[in-house]
Amino acid sequence: MRRRDVLLAGAALGMAGSSRAQVVDLNDAINKAGRQRMLSQRMAKSYLASGQSIEPELAARTLAASMALFDRQLVELKVFAPQAEIKATYLQLETAWDDYKALLVGEKPVRAKAEAVMALAARVLKLANDGTGQLEKASGRPVGKLVNVSGRQRMLSQRMAAHYLSACWDVQASACAAEIAKSREEFMAAHELLKNAPQATPAIRSELNLAEMQWTFFDNALRTVKPGAADKRAMGNVFTASERILQVMDGVTGMYSKLS
């Protein structure tokens, strides 16, 4: 994938996140809540890439844009929260996010902090996932689940890339390999669910076919992991391929969120 395409992918995600200044309905809330899950992993991925000088300019830009989008959407979701327990989840998420953000900024990324970054990314992910599930439950409609599942694919793409880059830095390499394998199975199962859903329009299925082609390249790149033996080209391929899958699945999630 050409570098220009990757930059455009990042720009497209940024526009998707800022196209609405507030949450307009439950489907939109599930979409944005699910995007918070993804951003937790995308920031870890960008930190780890930057620390290993992988796509350094793009990694820095991606980290900054992801942090800004997370901040903005957190405010929107707190304001929208339709139930007290959902509001409480987002207050907890705000506290976890403050800790995570403090670790991500201020100093150049270093290996000594990589394990802490991954741990806080996991904590933020859990709370963001809790909020997404609560909003899906509040929706009570089949399309709400599809928005949640398609949005989760965005997160899995970033989670696999983050664990790959962590393993390449020889940070919890064995655990990372296990997480990649688990996420790979989840991604493929969810892809089949989305593709075969009766609500999937021809336009959605077309985008899912594109995601499938990108997945083949991404999955092959993931299998090149060599703990402690950096292959910068392979690491760059993982970073950029995860961005392309993210772009496609962000679009699919938006399409599902607009279904009545």
Q: Identify the domain containing residue 102 by its residue range.
A: 22-255
CA dist., res. 10 & res. 70, Å (int): 14
Q: How many residues does the chain have?
A: 260
Domain count, the chain: 1
3-state class (DSSP) for residue 82: coil
DSSP 149-212: HHHHHHHHHHHHHHHHHHHHTTSSHHHHHHHHHHHHHHHHHHHHHHHH-TT--HHHHHHHHHHH
Q: Is residue 11 part of a domain?
A: no
Which whole number is the average pLDDT over 11-35?
75
For residue 58 the two structure tokens come to: 């793009």
Q: Is residue 102 part of a domain?
A: yes
Q: Is residue 33 part of a domain?
A: yes
The fraction of the chain above a pLDDT of 70, given in percent, is: 91
pLDDT category at 21 given cuts 50, 70, 90 is: low
Q: Is residue 15 part of a domain?
A: no
Express each pLDDT in 203-250 by its tens digit.
999 999 999 999 999 999 898 877 766 789 999 999 999 999 999 999
Res 231: pLDDT: 85
pLDDT category at 79 given cuts 50, 70, 90 is: very high
pLDDT category at 169 given cuts 50, 70, 90 is: very high
Express each pLDDT in 27-41 by its tens digit.
999 999 999 999 999
Q: Is residue 16 part of a domain?
A: no
Q: Is residue 247 part of a domain?
A: yes
When the pLDDT of each residue in the chain is averaged and rounded to a whole number, the result is: 91
pLDDT category at 110 given cuts 50, 70, 90 is: very high
Is pTM, for the whole model, over 0.75?
yes
Q: Is residue 10 part of a domain?
A: no
Q: Is residue 204 part of a domain?
A: yes
Measure CA 167 to chain center. 18
